[in-house]
Structure 1
């Protein structure tokens, strides 16, 4: 069996100390994870009840009552446990570990004698296990619990949750498979595929890898499993409002995975599936599976992705639509979808170090993901629009999914714990190893330690990358050691300068988008990087109708937006002249310390000509008024109360 050549620095060996990201790491540890624990226990009065922990206690026999919440409510607990595990791996926290251990004890009691674990079917429909995979998320919940268990075992060395999920995985393996007596099905919401790969890597049990491959191979085959199980249920459905039991593209079941050419359906499901596909391709050497990953990657990032790294163009089905259909005001752009895109990009980097994967990972991370959480760590966006008009949002049903301010919690609360587990594990996304080469995928300050040729090596990264484009690396090595430092050149820069031990270094950017420095490294060797940070007037592809005649501003990894708090209402009346000068300046007291972009603009306000109350007229003059437009980083919007916002702005020719 083939194995991936790429290795990763253990999260416990990485410490983040970064001007931008350290505050988010602190928030996750001190605010987000404790707040979410309270929310999962229904202890936040202003937040919608979760019921998640309560359901586990009922299933464990500790309480009586009925199941409450979404059918996949178990997954919120699992994601919280996974986030807690990553925090424990990077820093001891006896109080957090005690909470997690207590939750694991409850989960153990909730597990059924045959290994089955799902509170909805244990409490509410005990005789209906595995009868509605298209809608009811049994394997999805199992996958998240498996991911939590693998992370918790690695962080603490405690195997209790890992043993629980191994029993559960063994039960699943007894139910599903190619054998005649087993079900030939797969979950409507992908997640089990990538989780089983993690379980295989943690235990070495090949059955888990084969089961992941089985689920991928079955998807989209005929006769169609979803239709067969629907007929067995007598035509009943769980989510009557969606009526998607037979909408095969919704769950990427319209074709076998190796034959799919375009990203279809529910965007989170798609990228979770692609993450599992990339994992299996890396471990098995399945070239057709890898080619399918590349084909779908290309379709997503070149035709179906927003400039913020968001995906999912419509609210119905939280799904992709068609090539170049990227509306900014009715977009769905679920936070979880961008997190899934980061997972997929990270897996592709492990197979093939190409900067384009890291560029997309960075775009989604710095924009949509951090936009999904307020700066107090207690409020969240499920949907991430690129244009908001509160008056329309509150009164027009086509915007029913758009929120003008972040919420404390959700009935379907997948996004908040997903943000927490990603940011808690952020250190593991910074570097990858392959063939004695250390690839820097994200420029995030801190320390990383690993061993090579029996020598301990520490890489210290001092980074002001996000705002100034400046990075410094310092190496500490127990003995001189030969390896290659591969430094990603981000797609937004127009120049890069490098010094090696204080001397200019002639940088050559390889076809894969990295500058490689191959030498014998010794203690106190240092690299200094400076990336040019121009302000780009970004334009959409000519076939994207929604961005025609408009520009978006980007500086460094950040996409910028106009917000009413800085520019007044009626943002649609603002125009940016093509030749106006764009200036970036630090504003340390604004939104936690950001760089803003200011420029001369005009406001096409003709209100004087409309005082008679006419809605339309033939003789109105356009009377532009000079103004100054102020742009803030998109991730920081909606932290100053309700107001208009837009990323794309009209350009005045």
Structure 2
């Protein structure tokens, strides 16, 4: 098994020009609509939307205005992720006006930073004497981590150092506060994020202290005596959120119940978990830590085999936005936070850098094409925090257990971590398409683009063209000054059971080239070479594991990387009364007039319904069964036609 790739490289988004029918529209939407809209939301200027208070808090902390802190204790992160999205967007397309707007926000952040380097508007405004006294609840390091990521991205985009200098001072201050030395705090945050951010800062600055600090936070977590438990005892067992003293502290919730190398099961808050696993994979590669790599593999297996939704979503309960237990994946009370799917993309990408296995690319693709982009509407101004697989609007409105399930996307949230997370992922998409090592270019995603890599002493521009995800054909060509010998590795997606490889017009038997989900084509390449990779896209019927009780007797439809769902708009209400007729053919065709153009799946179903005046709730006779046709649309597009029922899993007739 190829493991711990010492020389693996990822591409900066600035070196990847995406020219793709599907993703170029998304990136343009983020630039033209999403970033300006979120700027207005952060300034509390979106009518009828929940106020953010985020910019207002920075203005108060900077001394520009008077007032009280409002919002969540980690409200600064919404601004940080917005800046990060701007940074990636500027890498793709210069925009002097947007850059000036962002520079003004950055100047405000710099004014809010303390002389010692500390930066956090909640504690600056409201409780300056309580820094670092409640790491489990108050997320000071989490907030710092997002600001560090913003500083790195904005510097890489513009070369401007103001925010980078701010976050370096912040990181230096944190490095002085935390560590194993006498007088330092041997703590770590309740919400992981700074660990992966410090790795990014290390990679940019080459400052070893940042990498070692990230290692400290990972290594210290869950050790005995447990820092978070000691801190909680010192506070009199009170939570930041008030109430009575707690009887116990739930260390599993923030993955601090065991040292990370001993953890076998993904538990607790889903976003915190995958952010931590991302950092663990980063550190495993950079420090060649096989035990850390083994822990990542074990936790990956538990999530993907037992705790992940068909859409790539994770976190099955709204109580703590958390994992529960193996095979507990309800469709109608699901949580599946958009941020958690973004985190799965991060984790899968880092696992690919550790070892090129197709399953990591499969999960990255599944989460990206279904859950992540499903979290944003086609207009770029409405968002899902929760991503259900079954929606009954009446239950959302009248059943308190389902009030978190929104039948339509919202303009904004009091805790709006998800909208800027989607924006920063879409604008940074170029870095996920390829990785490379000393002699191989790995293609993980099929997205039209032109990218430049350095291979065996030469610069190579690789061009990819595709109509993915609507069809499975991807073609590749190169620009280079002279022939270069290297290997091109193409992912064979797990959903594809028949593929054809054509090089320079000649079909190639690739069966002997397939290893761990990638087809390795080694040869001396020239600027005249062409490669066609035909991945057959069939409509597939998927069944759940027998222990996944929520889907017993149910099936789901998938085509290529896309999971499909039925909506009331196409099929009428009472979707729970429908059963798909699997004996009848399932046909896919592209509809240019539906939802901006998409491939739909059509077939036959049986509907159970009342045909008489019997109003009995329970009766001796079964309901009547009538045939009807159905239309299924890609899950990521649901909810763009107003309020209505939706379901991914339907009964099998």
Q: TM-score per shorter chain, which class?
A: over 0.9
User: Any idea what the Cα deviations from partners look like across 1:431-457, whole Å, max 9, x if unmatched?
Assistant: 000231000000000111123344332
1:159-198 per-position Cα deviation (integer Å, ceiling 9, x unaligned): 1111111111111111110113111111000001000111
SS of equivalent residue, structure 2 residue 464: strand
CA–CA separation in structure 2 for the residues paired with 1:631 and 1:340: 28
SS of 2:10 mapped into structure 1: coil
What corresponds to 1:44 in structure 2?
46
**1:621: Cα distance to partner?**
3.2
2:494 aligned with 1:491: yes
2:360 aligned with 1:357: yes
Say whether the 8 Å CA contact 1:476–1:525 is kept in structure 2. no
Query: What are the Cα deviations for residues 49-82 of structure 1, in whole angstroms up to 9, with x where unaligned?
Result: 1011111111111111111111100001100010
Tell me how far apart the structure 2 counterparts of residues 612 and 449 of structure 1 sit (CA, whole Å).
69
Pairing of 1:486-525 with structure 2 (within 5 A):
486-508=489-511, 509-525=513-529
Q: Show the counterpart of 2:143.
A: 141
Q: Is 1:472 matched up with 2:475?
A: yes
The equivalent of 1:602 in structure 2 is 606
Question: Match for 1:20 among 19, 22, 45?
Answer: 22
Q: Quick check: 1:221 aligned with 2:220?
A: no
Q: Using the alignment, how far apart are the partners of 2:111 and 2:5 within structure 1? A: 37
Equivalence map 1:408-487=2 (5 Å): 408-487=411-490
Q: Deviations along 1:410-449, whole A, 9 cap, x unmatched? A: 0000000000000000011000002310000000001111
Q: Against the structure 1 CA distance between its residues 481 and 245, is the aligned structure 2 distance closer, same or farther, given a 3 Å change threshold? A: farther
SS across alignment from 2:130: coil
Q: What is the 5 A alignment of 1:533-548?
A: 533-548=537-552
Contact 1:3 1:284 in 2 (8 A): no
- Please tell me whether the aligned partners of residues 244 and 250 of structure 1 are also in contact (alpha carbons under 8 angstroms): no
Q: Distance in 2 between matches of 1:240 and 1:272?
A: 27
Take 2:48 and 2:399, find their aligned partners in 1: how far apart are those partners? 26
Whether 1:158 and 2:152 are equivalent positions in the alignment is no
1:572 to 2:576 alignment: yes
- Measure, in 1, the Cα distance between the counterparts of 2:614 and 2:166: 73
Q: 2:623 aligns to what?
A: 622
More displaced 10-residue stretch of structure 1: 216-225 or 33-42: 216-225
Rounded to whole Å, the distance in 1 between the matches of 2:230 and 2:193 is 22
Tell me if structure 2 keeps the 8 A contact 1:230–1:245.
Answer: no
Residue 178 of structure 2 is aligned with which of 172, 176, 179? 176
Q: 1:596 to 1:408 in 2, by over 3 A?
A: same
Structure 2 partner of 1:297: 300
Are 2:5 and 2:353, in contact at CA under 8 Å, matched by a contact in 1?
A: no
* Deviation by residue 1:213-241 (Cα, 9 ceiling, x = unmatched): 11111111122212221232233322348
1:375 alignment counterpart: 378
Relative to 1, partners in 2 of residues 1:11 and 1:403: Cα closer, same or farther, differing over 3 Å?
same
Query: Which SS does the other structure have where 2:588 is aligned?
Result: strand
Larger mean Cα displacement after TM superposition, 431-440 or 292-301:
431-440
State the distance in 2 between where 1:621 and 1:443 align. 48
Distance 1:614 1:4 in 2: 68
Equivalent in the alignment of 2:250: 247
2:531 aligned partner: 527
User: 205, 208, 232: which is aligned to 1:206?
Assistant: 208
Deviation of the 1:277 alpha carbon: 0.5
1:371–1:635 CA contact under 8 A, matched in 2: yes
Supply the distance in 2 between the matched residues of 1:93 and 1:233 (Cα, whole angstroms): 48
Of residues 554-563 and 229-238 in structure 1, the stretch that sits farther from structure 2 once superposed is: 229-238
- TM-score (norm. length: structure 2): 0.98
Map 1:250-261 to 2 at 5 A: 250-261=253-264
Deviations 1:485-544 (A, max 9, x none): 100000111211111111112213523111111111111311011111111100000000
What is the aligned counterpart of 2:57 among 44, 55, 58?
55
CA distance in 2: counterparts of 1:600 and 1:400, whole angstroms: 32
Alpha-carbon distance in 2 for matches of 1:504, 1:227: 62
Provide the alpha-carbon RMSD of the alignment: 1.4
Q: Which moved more, 1:625-634 or 1:232-241?
A: 232-241
Q: 2:116 aligns to what SS in structure 1? A: coil
Is 2:110 the counterpart of 1:96? no
2:633 matches 1:636: no
Q: 2:553 aligns to what?
A: 549
Q: CA deviation at 1:244?
A: 9.9
- Is the contact between residue 534 and residue 556 of structure 1 (CA under 8 Å) also seen in structure 2? yes
Q: Tell me how far apart the structure 2 counterparts of residues 241 and 300 of structure 1 sit (CA, whole Å).
A: 33
Question: Corresponding residue for 1:584?
Answer: 588
Distance in 2 separating the partners of 1:139 and 1:244: 26
Assess if the C-alpha contact under 8 Å between 1:342 and 1:365 holds in 2: yes
Q: Which residue of 1 aligns with 2:312?
A: 309
1:260, distance to aligned residue in structure 2 (A): 0.5
Which residue in the other structure is 2:82 paired with?
80
- Partner of 1:552, secondary structure, is strand
After superposition, give the CA deviation of every residue in 1:11-50 in whole Å (9 maximum; x if it has no partner).
2111111121111111111111111011111111121110
Query: Unmatched 5+ residue regions in structure 1?
Result: none
Distance in 2 (CA, whole Å) between partners of 1:465 and 1:507 is 21
Distance 1:68 1:4 in 2: 45
1:257-276 alignment to 2 at 5 Å? 257-276=260-279
Match of 1:403 in 2: 406
TM-superposition CA deviations, 1:551-586 (whole Å, max 9, x none): 000001100001000000000111112312100011
Give the 3 Å change call, closer, same or farther, for CA 442–241 of structure 1 in structure 2: farther
Residue-by-residue CA offset, 1:68-113 (whole Å, 9 max, x unaligned): 1111000011000100001111221111111111111111111101
SS of 2:566 mapped into structure 1: strand
CA apart distance, 1:326 = 0.5
Tell me the SS of whatever aligns to 2:377. coil
Structure 1 moving runs of 4+ over 3 Å: 240-245
**CA distance in structure 1 between the partners assigned to 2:504 and 2:67 by the alignment:** 67
SS at match of 1:418: helix
Judged with a 3 Å threshold, the aligned counterparts in structure 2 of structure 1 residues 241 and 257 are, in CA distance, closer, same or farther, namely farther
* Stretch deviating more after TM superposition (44-53 or 564-573): 44-53
Q: C-alpha distance in 1, partners of 2:228/2:456? A: 52
Counterpart CA distance in 2 for 1:624 and 1:584 is 25
